[in-house]
Structure 1
Amino acid sequence: MNSILILAHGSQIKETEAIVNSLVEKVKKRTGSEFVQAAYLQFSEQDLESGIRRLVDEGADSIKVVPMFIFDGVHVTQDIPGELEEIRAKYPHIKIKLSRHIGDDDRLADIIADRAASV
């Protein structure tokens, strides 16, 4: 079973997790998959490894990790790949792929233009 793990940065303000949970539901509808979870790099018990464990417990044999990050910073280039390497060693029977982060996507320009037009 294919699954998706949306990986956000995380925040000390716990209410922000509602935004990512909303995105999880939207991705479920968009993909037709019930096997979409959220995880956070920092400030949450729902970290990357526990997110993967939850999907494995649900029966996932293939997990696509999608980092919800804009910049090619240390988290994207070092932290996430490093953590995934350690996690893959714990789950050698699970295919774990890291997608490209959100980055400089043209669709973000549309959102920014829409937001600017609304004020």
Structure 2
Amino acid sequence: MSETGIIVLGHGSRADKSNKMFYNLIDKLDRRLEDQRVEGAAMELTNPTLEERVAELAGDGIEKIVILPLFLFPGIHVQEDIPAQVDELAEKYPGIEFSIGDIIGDDSRLVDIIVDRWKGVNEWN
């Protein structure tokens, strides 16, 4: 098993459809990164939480955890909540190396997706 785990961290939702879409994305990423262990977690409103997912990976002997926030913009969760929670987890699991990836942000590849969505709507108008 890989010694590195990737946790894609979403906001979380009470809506089952949203959570299903999130985990469909996680499954696709897991297949793409076949040599890595990819898991999903939520900041709030649903489980597993980041702490629960880290506990699971720690129990499986994972030595490095990369947290990829699935957020578009740097709101309070990104600026404050996630770093604080990762600091707490690093204290709780001193044998694990933690790192936090960048948010999606204003990545220019999003423009292509937005244009595709516009074209889809525009075809019907």
Normalised by the length of structure 1, the TM-score is 0.94
Q: Equivalent residue for 1:76?
A: 78
8 Å CA contact 1:40–1:48 kept in 2: the answer is: yes
Q: Deviations over 1:65-115 (max 9, x none)?
A: 000001111110000001111111000000111011111111111111111
Listed as ranges, the gaps of 5+ residues in structure 1 are none
Q: How many positions carry a matched residue from both structures?
A: 119
Q: SS of the counterpart of 2:68? A: strand
Q: Which structure: larger Rg?
A: 2
Listed as ranges, the gaps of 5+ residues in structure 2 are none
Single out whichever of 15-24 and 93-102 deviates more from structure 2: 15-24
8 Å CA contact 2:66–2:98 kept in 1: the answer is: yes
Normalised by the length of structure 2, the TM-score is 0.89
Q: Deviations over 1:19-48 (max 9, x none)?
A: 111111111121113511100001013111
Structure 1 runs of 4+ aligned residues shifted over 4 Å read: none
8 Å CA contact 1:37–1:55 kept in 2: the answer is: no
| Identical pairs, percent | 34
Q: Equivalent residue for 1:32?
A: 34
Aligned-CA RMSD value: 1.2
Q: Equivalent residue for 1:7?
A: 9
